[in-house]
Amino acid sequence: MLPLILLIFIPLVAAVALLAMGDKHKAMIAAASITLSAAISSFIAVKALQGSGFEYTYNGGQVFGDVRLAVDPLSAWFILLMNFTVITAVFYGRSYMRAYKGMNADLNLHWIGFLVNHSAMLGIYMVHNSLAFLVVWEVMAISAFLLVIFEHWKVETLKAGINYLIQSHVSIVFLMIGFLWIAGVQGTYDFSAITAYSRQATPAAGVLLFVLFFIGFGIKAGFVPFHTWLPYAHPAAPAHISGMMSGVIIKTGIYGILRIILLENTNFLIIGSIVLLVSIISGLYGVMLAIVQHNLKKLLAYHSIENIGIIGMGIGLGVIGVGLGNPLLAFAGFAGGLLHVLNHSLFKSLLFYGSGNIYQAIHSLNIDSMGGLIKQMPRTAALFLIAALAICGLPPFNGFVSEFLIYLGLFEAIQTGQFEFTALIILSTLGLVLIGGLAILCFTKAFGIIFLGTARSEHKHIPQEADTGKLLPMYLVVALIIAIGLFPGIFIEFLRLPVQQFTGDVFVSGAHPAIISTIQNVTRATWGFLLLVAAIWYVRKWITASATTASGPTWGCGYKTSDARLQYTASSFVRNYRKLVEPMLSVTKHKTIIKGIVPEKGHSSTHVYDLLESAIIDRPIRRIKGFIGKFNFLQNGSVQFYVLYGVIFIFIIITFPLVVEAVVFLFELIKQL
């Protein structure tokens, strides 16, 4: 009980202190509060991962009934990874937000929103009462909205925030339908009612219930086609909020899906296939659109959709493994998906922090205007490169470990010989291969255009490396990325109890040691190769240390003058890819035709729009606006007409009961006849 009181008391005290203190101390108070809350909740989570779960029930009155708070291994895993990312975000944000001093920015609202959002996420992972869960979910949505619209003086930021808020409430509508369905049948809001209902419901009803929850949680997670809010909200928010949103806030949707899978006792093969198919589409669609983005943070946002797809593929494979009774497939799928939740929170938050360093150095996120930043920002470039290698799933970093687990699950699924799943599994394997290859193309473009070559445009100020306050949290993230790559067995061992909740002890005991042994062998071989390369480089450097080195100008290939415009742009770098996938994308081109013997300056640019957003968001909104526009004549500015509307309204109110009574009388008369 004491830890719960502290988790409520600490943010409240910090919020009061924020209102009383000056701008200089606000970030420090928020950081201290987050660190204390994270330490307490992490202690509970570690105990749960060791097998000592936490549970407490209090009386919520006639409305909520008994509200059960519990931390099991699944909750514990999400609490731990969420706390780490939120701590790095608050300390990075402490330095990042100094740029907004004296700009009339409401730092009180920002840091209080940060505290509330962290507390709400802890509540989501602890609450096991559906009505209380919806309340906490709403608090998380509103606090995240306030964090997104920090730069509310920008029209684009407000639009992105409102878009996020609306779609968050669409998510809540689907969740509410599902929870009220269960409560209406079982008479209780406790999560155990979902399990009780699924045992007595028909398979079709169970699958329909899962689909409702999957849509509700899938909107928050960013699965395609429920992703359209994400590419706008992430770029609009400050860098540390973008890192937190992509790293952990969207993972609450993944947690919700996993919790429903754990509670529902329904047809695992069907729901596993649904999750797997949606995830393949999400992963491919996300990376396809990421490649052609010009805005760095929007590029990273689409990669969040891609990685949510990879996580979903692991979950889908794990569910299918349980349905088929295949221990290796079940463990590899769930372990790969859960580990990728952690891995994505690390390298994606690191990439967003890097984008924040770049933005505050050159005040632009347009990739085509960048170039040569490695000279002024070598540390940011190195950290960005490590994160890029990790997100591409390249060894020996953490992304490789989780994706390798998912590949193991895919190969095991192919060997099961289940004909009805063979096509889906082969499609999933090809999809994961394509996702990895396209991610390498995307980050080769991003790193090359941003950091290599020379600047493609002049900046108002000379770019400078980020200060230690921003770099230190990034180093902490890199340390964990490398640790997972070095010692994958330790982190897979942490997943034993969370996975066991889905698969049972029989599944885990058979598959667990074999998978750890395979991963360890691969990572050790990779690190051995890297050490060999490093040794060869050192020996070569030692041998050539005494040799004289001559330097001179690089051969210019016949060009006497260098010009930054002769370099690749982000668009030209991926032109062949864009031409190949253009039929599947909405591409708009703007260019001027160069004419004459002495031509004037020409211009060419391409812009890609999300086809699904156009189909499921823009087109319906245009039709609704068109329909409503037909009634504009009602608002004609004439006072006489407005008085008439009032009279008509009063007439309807008076006559409506009379009409109802007349209808009832007619029905009674018909019955008598």
Per-residue pLDDT at 615: 82
Which residues, including other chains, have CB under 8 Å from residue 385's CB and lie 6 or more apart? 447, 451
Helix (H) or strand (E) holding 260: helix 251-263
**Residue 293 located in a structural domain:** no
Query: If you average pLDDT over every residue of the chain, what do you get?
Result: 87
**Residue 155 located in a structural domain:** no
| Dihedral (Cα; 33, 35, 39, 42), 10-degree rounding | 110
Q: Is the pLDDT of residue 510 over 60?
A: no
**Residue scoring higher pLDDT (109 or 555):** 109
Per-residue pLDDT at 506: 52
β-bridge partners, 605: 590
Apex CA 328: angle with CA 324 and CA 332, to 5°? 105
State the CB neighbour count (10 A cutoff) for residue 661. Answer: 10
Per-residue pLDDT at 547: 76
Per-residue pLDDT at 596: 61
**Residue 659 located in a structural domain:** yes
What is the distance between the alpha carbons of residues 296 and 117, in angstroms, rounded to a whole number? 25
**Residue 668 located in a structural domain:** yes
Taking alpha carbons only, the member of 139, 97, 91 closest to residue 118 is 139
Per-residue pLDDT at 270: 92
Per-residue pLDDT at 103: 66
Per-residue pLDDT at 460: 77
Q: Is the pLDDT of residue 297 over 60?
A: yes
**Residue 423 located in a structural domain:** no
pLDDT (tens digit per residue) in 383-440: 999 999 999 998 889 999 999 999 988 988 887 766 667 888 899 999 999 999 999 9
Q: For residues 441-471, b (16+ Cβ closer than 10 Å) or e, as one string?
A: bbbebbbebbbbbebbeeeeeebebbeeebb
**Residue scoring higher pLDDT (5 or 251):** 251
**Residue scoring higher pLDDT (422 or 114):** 114
pLDDT mean over 432-455: 92
Q: Is the pLDDT of residue 513 over 90?
A: no
State the CB neighbour count (10 A cutoff) for residue 52. Answer: 10
Q: Is the pLDDT of residue 44 over 60?
A: yes
What is the distance between the alpha carbons of residues 280 and 52, in angstroms, rounded to a whole number? 36
Tokens 């996020």 correspond to 164
| Full residue range of the structural domain in which residue 636 is found | 632-672
E strands along 501-595, which residues? Answer: 586-591
Most confidently modeled range among 367-371, 570-574, 660-664: 367-371
Per-residue pLDDT at 480: 96
Q: For residues 107-142, b (16+ Cβ closer than 10 Å) or e, as one string?
A: beebbbbbbbbbbbbbbbbbbbbbbbbbebbebbbb
**Residue 656 located in a structural domain:** yes
**Residue 395 located in a structural domain:** no
pLDDT band at 479 (very low <50, low <70, confident <90, very high): very high
What is the distance between the alpha carbons of residues 260 and 206, in angstroms, rounded to a whole number? 11
Helix (H) or strand (E) holding 285: helix 268-291
Per-residue pLDDT at 346: 96
pLDDT (tens digit per residue) in 312-365: 999 999 999 998 888 888 889 999 999 999 999 999 999 999 999 999 999 889
Share of the chain above pLDDT 90, in %: 52
pLDDT (tens digit per residue) in 88-107: 999 999 999 988 876 656 88
Q: How many domains does the chain have?
A: 1
Q: Is the pLDDT of residue 557 over 70?
A: no
* SS3 state at 49: helix
Does residue 488 contact residue 404 with C-beta atoms inside 8 Å?
no
Q: How far is CA 540 from CA 55, 75, 209, 547, in A?
A: 60, 51, 64, 11
Q: Is the pLDDT of residue 117 over 90?
A: yes
Per-residue pLDDT at 668: 79
Question: Mean pLDDT lowest for which of 39-48, 182-191, 288-297, 646-655?
Answer: 646-655
Share of the chain above pLDDT 70, in %: 92
Helix (H) or strand (E) holding 620: helix 619-629
Does residue 419 contact residue 379 with C-beta atoms inside 8 Å?
no
Per-residue pLDDT at 354: 96
pLDDT mean over 191-211: 90
Tell me the residue type at 621. Answer: I
CA–chain centroid gap for 43, Å, is 25
Q: Is the pLDDT of residue 607 over 80?
A: no
pTM value?
Answer: 0.90
**Residue 202 located in a structural domain:** no
CA–chain centroid gap for 256, Å, is 14
Q: For residues 232-271, b (16+ Cβ closer than 10 Å) or e, as one string?
A: bbbbbbbbbbbbbbbbbbbbbbbbbbbbbbbbbebbbbbb
Does residue 388 contact residue 452 with C-beta atoms inside 8 Å?
no
pLDDT mean over 443-462: 87
Per-residue pLDDT at 328: 85
Does residue 183 contact residue 247 with C-beta atoms inside 8 Å?
no
Taking alpha carbons only, the member of 136, 132, 232, 212 closest to residue 170 is 212
pLDDT (tens digit per residue) in 566-604: 777 878 888 888 888 887 777 777 666 666 665 566 666
Question: Mean pLDDT lowest for which of 10-19, 64-73, 145-154, 564-573?
Answer: 564-573
